Amino acid sequence: MSSPTRKKVVDLSHQLAPTGLSYCAGHPTFTSEPVMSLVGDGSNVSRLTLGSHTGTHLDAPSHFIEGAATISDVDLSSLVAPAVVVDVRRKEFHGTITWDDIAPRAEELNPDVALLLCTGWSQHWGREEYMKSPHLSKEAAQKILERGVRVVGIDVFSVDADCREESGETNAVHRLLLGNGVLIVENLTNVEALLDGSAYTVSLLPLNLEGCDGSPIRAVAWCGGCN
């Protein structure tokens, strides 16, 4: 009897560790400490502290929109989907991802896919350069919205040019997408591995946190026909 074909699974999540992470200013840092041990208690148990937007994470609409859906309300069907991966690795520090960058794949965009933007910026994770990442233009976000996409992922700390929570046009892309029910995944890594021309499915599922504005996730992709 032949062995079943194994899926090629790609980990798209940054590892959470006490050091070497990148954070938006003011966000909680990650800690992990033992509170029970095998020797003393019969099992190992750790206490974790982290923010709802620590590491690779999902933004719920309530992150920026008052009274909008929380992480426990989101439609999980949009978070397990075929991936459309757009290569925008040529962007420089603080570069803008425009609709012209995405337009060649426009015919593939619809409510049934997850759009992933590959900037290659995860190579700077944990360093000062990471916070100088490219960002999505509001015009491009509007075009994505018009094509019915329900989830947008990116391998930088924010789809916007910064992560300050201020009024006006600051975080305009967050407000546009989340305000129309489009979920946002940030701090992806290893997205370059999905640029080999194969057809990948992604899973971007959050923890089931009641009433929360976001959640760390274990983002993965797989290709059933890849070796």
Q: Which domain holds residue 131?
A: 52-223
Average pLDDT over residues 149-177: 83
Average pLDDT over residues 121-144: 96
Reply yes or no on whether 135 is catalytic: no
Position 2 scores a pLDDT of 53
Residue at 108 is within a domain? yes
Please give the tally of structural domains in the chain.
1
Position 115 scores a pLDDT of 98
Position 189 scores a pLDDT of 98
Average pLDDT over residues 36-41: 96
Q: Round to whole Å and give the CA distance between 153 and 16.
A: 19
Residue 140 CB coordination number (10 Å): 22
Residue at 83 is within a domain? yes
Smallest Cα–Cα separation from 159: which of 59, 73, 70?
59
Residue at 101 is within a domain? yes
pLDDT band at residue 17 under the 50/70/90 scheme: very high
Residue at 131 is within a domain? yes
- pLDDT higher than 90, residue 130: yes
Residue at 61 is within a domain? yes
Residue at 44 is within a domain? no
Residue at 32 is within a domain? no
- The CATH number of the domain holding residue 173 is 3.50.30.50
Which residues, in sequence order, are bridge partners of residue 186? 57
Tens of pLDDT, residue by residue over 60-109, are 999 999 999 999 999 999 999 999 999 999 999 999 999 999 999 999 99
pLDDT band at residue 224 under the 50/70/90 scheme: confident
Both structure tokens of 148:
């019915």
Kindly name the residue from 53, 57, 63, 174 that is annotated as catalytic: 63
Smallest Cα–Cα separation from 155: which of 70, 224, 97, 106?
97
Tell me the whole-structure pTM to 2 decimals: 0.93
Residue at 186 is within a domain? yes
- pLDDT higher than 90, residue 166: no
Q: Round to whole Å and give the CA distance between 71 and 61.
A: 8
